[in-house]
Amino acid sequence: MSGHVTAMNPRERALLAGRRTPQAVLAKAAKWSVLALFLIVTLFPLLWLLLQTFKTNAEFVMNPLALPSGFYYQNYLDAVRISGLPRLLMNSVIVSSASTAINMLICSMGAFVFAREKFKGQQLIVTIILAGVLVPIIALMLPYYRIIRGLGLFDSLAGLTLVYVAINIPISTFLLQGFMKSIPFEMEEAGVIDGCNFWQRYWLIVLPLSKLGIVTAGTFVFLFSWNEFVYALLLTASFTTRTLQLGIRDFQGQFFTNYTGMYAAITLSIIPSVIVYVFFHERIISGLTSGALKT
Partner 1 sequence: MTLHKHWKGIALFLLPVGVMYVTFFIYPLGYVFVVSLTDFRGFGSMEFVGLANFRRIFEMTNFQFGLRNNLIWALSLGFGQVALAAVVAMILARKPPFWRFLRTAYFLPNVISQVAIAMLWYTIYRENFGLLNTALRAIGLDHLALNWLGNLSTALPAVILQQLLYIGYFMIILLAGVMSIPRSLYESAEIDGANVFQQEVFITIPMVKSIAVVAMTLAMAFGIRHFEATFLLTGGGPANRTMTLGILLHRNLHAANYGRASAISAVLIIVGALIIGLTRHLLTTRSAIEDVKQ
Tally the residues of the chain.
295
Task: Give me the amino acid identity at 190.
Answer: A
User: By CB under 8 A, what part of segment 219-248 binds partner 1?
Assistant: 223, 226-227, 229-230, 234, 244-245, 248
User: By CB under 8 A, what part of segment 105-144 binds partner 1?
Assistant: 105-107, 109-110, 112-113, 117-119, 125, 128-129, 132-144
Q: Label each residue of 76-129 as H, E or C.
A: HHHHHHHHCHHHHHHHHHHHHHHHHHHHHHHHHHHHHHHHHCCCCCHHHHHHHH
How many residues make contact with partner 1 (CB under 8 A)? 91
CA–centroid distance for 188 within its chain: 32
Among 2, 63, 127, 238, the residue binding partner 1 under the rule CB under 8 A is: 63
Between 2 and 239, whose beta carbon lies closer to partner 1? 239
Among 5, 8, 16, 35, the residue binding partner 1 under the rule CB under 8 A is: 35
Determine if 176 is a binding residue for partner 1 (CB under 8 A): no
Rg of the chain on CA atoms, in Å: 26
Between 1 and 223, whose beta carbon lies closer to partner 1? 223
The H or E element containing residue 22 is helix 22-52
According to DSSP, residue 237 is labeled -
Among 17, 146, 187, 212, the residue binding partner 1 under the rule CB under 8 A is: 146
User: By CB under 8 A, what part of segment 90-109 binds partner 1?
Assistant: 105-107, 109
Candidate ranges 48-56, 70-78, 79-87, 93-101; the one touching partner 1 (CB under 8 A): 48-56
The Cα 152–Cα 146 span in angstroms is 10
Task: Give me the amino acid identity at 225.
Answer: S
CB of 127 to partner 1, least distance (A): 12
DSSP-based three-state secondary structure for 42: helix
Determine if 46 is a binding residue for partner 1 (CB under 8 A): yes
The Cα 212–Cα 182 span in angstroms is 12
Between 33 and 69, whose beta carbon lies closer to partner 1? 33
